[in-house]
Each structure stands twice: as structure tokens, then as C-alpha cells.
Structure 1
Amino acid sequence: MKIAVTTPTGNVGRHVVAMLVRAGVRPRVLLRDPDRLAPEIRAEVDVARVDQFDADSVVAATRDIDSLFWVDPTTGSEDPLADYARATSSVIRAVTDNRIGRVVFQSSVGAEKRHGAGEIDGLAHTETALDDCDVHVTHLRCGYFFTNLELQLDALRAGTLQVVLPVDQAMAWVAPRDIAEVATTRLLSATWSGRCVQAVHGPVDLTWRDVADILTAATGRRIGVERITDNAMRTRLRQAGMTDGLVEAVLGMSTGLREDFVPEQRRTVQTSTPTTLAAWAYDHLRHRLVDAS
């Protein structure tokens, strides 16, 4: 079985690569900068230098591939949805030209809305485009990544997380490693076919108030949560260097799921994964906050 992995140094992709290697597979990894690969993994993979926005390079890198783990690359441009469309064109060309049999696509809870969820709309576009291809595809509808908290280290050190969602609105939170485990089992399995949607919900839905309490216990720092206005969040994102178009796309991922949104897939034993936020925070956040004090 020949398997290709995109974003192999990302929060999910690096775990997918390691799991495939442990399973005895030598994956082909597609990335712009091979130097970002961990030294211990370089000898275990085949490297293809690829810009995922360049369809020709993606097609060339995925020749003879049986299964593909596709993650739309991140973008910091003024028009992120246009960038998602370019990346979608690349994967569709690769699947079509190379007759790739199976694709596991890292999508998101909210993609089922199709429109009105900011940057998640780009993932929805990739989903529908893959659905129109003659390919077996699994869309992983992932919850909110634990690792997104690493983007708020300054706020955590200051003791207050600021959000635009109601602080008592529960949603799925998930560890990227658990997403990788689901993706890898799908890549290695030949028992599924057609179009599949596999939600990846983490162990339990959490409110932002729950998150603050869990982080307080896990890190030993008192952390609270405050709901702020959409405009206040816009200002914060602009101050972080985001373009106006990216600000609206990022904000839309919250505001688009804020009212009257019900995920297409309910939580079940099949969608629940084991890693708790408390365990992850103890391992990944505690020392970073303590070291900064």
C-alpha cells in the first residue's frame, strides 16, 4: 500500500506519519520545506517537495499513490477562501489524473453548513469537490483542536481567555493526536468504501467555562474566561497581523456556529476519542506557563 501524507509536520500530520511508520509503511510526505521534518523520521519516509497550491507539483508527487491524507494548507492571505479553492483544485487534479483510490480529508465540524462558517466554508468546498470525484473518501469532521490554545499563551499567562462564543455553549474539543489515530486507521483499512463522514469529537463536549476550570487545575494558574464583542475580537486579530479578509474568515468560524447550529453527527462511541483536555494541558501547557512566570 502506497500512502501519501500532506502537512507531515503539522499538528495532525506529524502523528499520522509516525503511526504509519510504526505500522511498517514507508509513506510519501508532501511538504514545501523538507528541512522541517524531524531528523529521526527523514530516513523512514520518501520526501516530495510540494506546494499544495501548485496542482502540477501535487499531481507529480502523488503518482502511483493508493491512499492520500489531504489537509488543506493554512493561509494568511486577504482571501483565504480563494486559497482553499486553489488547494482543492490541486487535490482534485491529483485524484483524477492519478486515479487515487482513497482519500482521507481533514475537515471540521461545521463544514456540513456549507456556507456561513468563515474559513470552514473552504473545507466544505473541498468536501463537495471530492464527493463529485470517483474516489472513496472519508471526511474527518474534527472538533476544536486543543492545540489552538497554544496560540493564546499570552492570554493564558495573563489569566483570561477572551472569546466571542457564549461561555456556557458546549462544543467538541479534541487532541490532534487522536485525529491522527482515526486518520491512520482509515488510511490502513480497506473495509470502507464510498463517501463516509467520520466525526472526531474528543472525549466530551466542553464549554469555555469548563476549559478555563480545567486549565486552572492542570497548570496551577488561575485562568478565567470573558466573552467579548465581535468588534473587539476583530481588533485583537488585526493587532495580531491578520488581513481584514483573514480576520473575517477566522471570526466566522465562531460566529457561524454560534446560533442554532447542530452538528450533523451526534456524539457516539465511534466519534469519541480518549485524550482529555486535562491530560493534554498538563503535558503541553503547564511547563510553558510555569517557565514564563
Structure 2
Amino acid sequence: MTTLVTGATGNTGRHVVAELIRRGERVRALTRNPSAAKGKLPPSAELTAGTHTAPADLADAFEGISRLHITVTAGLAEAGPELVRRAVDAGVRRITVVWGGFVGPVEQAVTDSGVEWTRLEPQEFMSNTLTWIESIRAEGIVREPYDFPSALVHEADIGAVAAAALLDDGHAAHAYNLTGPEVLTTRERLAILSQAIGRDVTFLPITHEQAVDRLISDGVSRTDAEYVVDWYASSSKDSKTVVDTVERVTGRPARTFADWVAEHADRFKSPPESTVAP
């Protein structure tokens, strides 16, 4: 059988691809630019051009597919239900979906699809830490509006749970809340990161509006920017409560933030100063 993974080179998609292949599944990886995706995914992944926001163009991508993984992203709310319908019409019988933070049109379409489905509801991704790279490398400073507690989850654990739900029985009609094994504040994350890179990183608070404006300057709509910063300001109980879903589904403990940092520490280190020959 073959599984189609949308957003195959994204934060979670690439881990879904890798875990499925590790378990012996054939994978068709949907990506806007297959040439650019080479080297980012396992060599055995079948790369196919396309985007899940244009489902009318995916007839070839759906050919011979029995399972589908969807990551809800910006712009999918309108196209998502059609994507699900076309997938089911093409013969897909099991779907996993990484939600967009709430049950919206795509998530509901998956639930109503008439096939086996599993919804993954991860809390904050550990990869959000990557947004700090530039300020840490340049100044050793992280500017955020809130020192909030978060049960961060490793993207590879999301991928592992998705693969289990796609390949193993017993996960149909489940909504899985996914967290890491610990709750950490921003300052606690920075302490772990500082130790790993051998450099003190300072937390510098900014205002709520400054955080919103920063996201807008990065191209995020005001509505989405306010949603994100509001979430940090008053995060839900689920976002700061550890659950053991990863271990129950995969049979091994969830990865820690220290594990994630060990994998990415070099990206936060300042490049060596260039030297000029005398």
C-alpha cells in the first residue's frame, strides 16, 4: 500500500514521511518543488509535484493511494473539504490530520469522511524555537511578550504517532492530544539552550502589541498574528498539561526539549569570525 503525505517537507510532514518509510511503507510525498525536496526526504520517498490547497490538480497524486496524511495550514480552510472528498473518491480509506489548533472545516471534513480517521492535536511545536535563531546568534537575546509554561512536543513524535495511526489498527475516530514529557517556561527553555550552545541567552520581554506587529512584518495577517499572540497570553490548560499519548501510541517515551536542542544546537551558534590574512 502507499500513503500520500501532504506538506511533505514541512515541520511535521517530513517526520511523517521518514517514520512511514522506516516502518516499510511506500510513501508518495506531495511538495510544490520536488527538485528542492531532494535531500530533505529519504531517497525511497516518491516525490510528486502539487499542493493540498489545489486538490483539483491531484488526480495523479491520488492514483493508487490507500492512506492520506494532511497537515492543516493557512489557506487550506476552503480547499480542505474538497481535498478530503477527492481522496475518498479515489479510494483512500484511512486519514490522519494534524489540526490547525481547533476543529475547523478541514478537521470536520475528515471526521465526516466516512473512512477511518485520526486527528492529531499537538500542543506547541519544539521547532517554534527556531524563530529565535537570528536574535540569539546576533545578540544572545530572545524577545517575547510572555514567559509562559508550555508542554512542547517534538515534531518527530508527531510523525511517529501519525505513522502508527495510519499503519496500525485501533486508532480510528480518536483525537489525540500530543505533548512532550515536561512543561517548560520560556526562560527554562533558554537555560537548556544556553547550556547546549555554551553561551548565555537573555530573555527580554516585549509588549503584546510589539509581538503582534513583529508577526505582521513577517507577512502574517493581523488576524492570525493576534490569534497566535493571544494564545501565548492565555494558553489553554491542555497546552501546559503533560499527557502520555506519545508513549501509549508509539510504545516509547516522548522526546525531551533537551533532545530537540541537541539535534539543533549548531544552528543557534554564531558562525566563527572571519580572519583576514596579514
Both structures adopt the same fold (TM-score exceeding 0.5): yes
Match status 1:102 vs 2:94? yes
Q: In the alignment, what sits opposite 1:62? A: 62
Runs of 4+ in 1 over 6 A off after TM superposition: none
1:40 and 1:149, CA in 2 relative to 1: closer, same or farther beyond 3 A? closer
Which sits farther off after the overlay, 34-43 or 274-283?
34-43
Which sits farther off after the overlay, 92-101 or 205-214?
92-101
Q: How does 1:106-255 map to 2 (within 5 A)?
A: 106-107=98-99, 110-111=101-102, 124-157=104-137, 158-165=139-146, 167=147, 169-193=148-172, 195-240=173-218, 242-243=219-220, 246-255=221-230
Contact 2:14 2:41 in 1 (8 A): no
C-alpha separation in 1, matches of 2:113 and 2:164: 22
1:143 and 1:37, CA in 2 relative to 1: closer, same or farther beyond 3 A? same
Q: In the alignment, what sits opposite 1:91? A: 83
1:154 and 1:292, CA in 2 relative to 1: closer, same or farther beyond 3 A? farther
Q: In the alignment, what sits opposite 2:238? A: 263
Contact 2:212 2:229 in 1 (8 A): no
Q: TM-score, structure 2 length as denominator?
A: 0.84
Which sits farther off after the overlay, 31-40 or 135-144?
31-40
RMSD across aligned positions (CA):
2.6
C-alpha separation in 2, matches of 1:93 and 1:40: 29
Q: Give ranges in structure 2 of 5+ residues lacking alignment.
A: 248-252, 274-278
Which sits farther off after the overlay, 84-93 or 154-163?
84-93
Report percent identity of matched pairs. 24
Q: Give ranges in structure 1 of 5+ residues lacking alignment.
A: 74-79, 115-123
How far off is 1:139 after superposition?
1.1
Q: TM-score, structure 1 length as denominator?
A: 0.80
Q: Deviations for 1:112-158, whole angstroms, at most 9, x for unmatched residues?
A: xx5xxxxxxxxx33212222221221111112222222222122222
SS at match of 2:245: coil
C-alpha separation in 2, matches of 1:197 and 1:62: 25
C-alpha separation in 2, matches of 1:26 and 1:207: 39
1:65 and 1:268, CA in 2 relative to 1: closer, same or farther beyond 3 A? same
Q: In the alignment, what sits opposite 1:30? A: 30
1:24 and 1:282, CA in 2 relative to 1: closer, same or farther beyond 3 A? closer
How far off is 1:264 after superposition?
8.8
Which residue identity is paired with 2:187? R
C-alpha separation in 1, matches of 2:42 and 2:163: 19
How many equivalent pairs are there? 267
How far off is 1:39 after superposition?
4.4
1:292 and 1:151, CA in 2 relative to 1: closer, same or farther beyond 3 A? farther
Contact 2:27 2:46 in 1 (8 A): yes
Q: Deviations for 1:80-128, whole angstroms, at most 9, x for unmatched residues?
A: 4xx23134134222234224211111125x42xx5xxxxxxxxx33212
Q: Which of 245, 265, 275 does residue 285 from structure 1 map onto?
A: 265
Q: Deviations for 1:9-30, whole angstroms, at most 9, x for unmatched residues?
A: 2222222222222222221111
C-alpha separation in 1, matches of 2:90 and 2:41: 26
